[in-house]
Amino acid sequence: MAMEEIKKTNLDMFLWLSDIPAARLSRSHFSGRAKSDMLLNNLCESFNKQLVGARDKPIITCLEYIREYMTMRIVNVKKMQATARGPLIPQATKAWDEIQTEASKLTVMMVDEVTYQVKSLRSQCVVNVEDRTCTCRRWDLTSMPCKHAVAALYDMIENNMHVGTFIGEVG
């Protein structure tokens, strides 16, 4: 267990972590409300870092600085979108390609028409395509199908089952 390893290595850290409720540390305790697997507030931190140069300026100058920064940011995002080879930006396309590659290595067993047991060499998960859930919780948290869900959906396609109603809209 990871906490036992930490206890052996660094007792102070173990005691500090022990005071934090598991609901704040483990994905298994997160609600399905979050739609990102990032637990940081990097967007706000990045934005605030950009404002450092304008903070000591008069309000109109500060607002103009923010407007110019945001315009430049929007242009950069549009440039990135223009390089996309599909509906996703390049980073999301790369992540999706990796998920598909990993999914092709998994073994799928149909439990019933909406529930699948998906195995790898080291673990197994249960996917419910109707509820869009997986026991790894990634699909629940991000709304993007995990490798287990993709493997289950591929199995449905191979068995001539209609998957369109189960994929639906992301979000």
Structure tokens at 149: 């869900």
Position 4 scores a pLDDT of 85
Q: In terms of pTM, does the model score above 0.85?
A: no
| pLDDT (tens digit per residue) in 64-94 | 999 999 999 999 988 888 887 777 777 888 8
Position 72 scores a pLDDT of 94
Residues of the chain with confidence (pLDDT) below 50: 168-171
Q: Where are the domains of the chain?
A: 42-82, 90-167
Radius of gyration of the chain (CA): 22
How far apart CA 27 and CA 106 sit, in angstroms, is 22
Plot region of 143 (φ>0 → left; ψ -120 to 50 → alpha; else → beta): left
Position 83 scores a pLDDT of 80
How far apart CA 83 and CA 49 sit, in angstroms, is 27
Position 160 scores a pLDDT of 79
What SS3 class is residue 75? helix
What SS3 class is residue 152? helix
User: Taking a C-beta distance cutoff of 8 angstroms, is the pair 104, 118 a contact?
Assistant: no
Structure tokens at 112: 């019933």
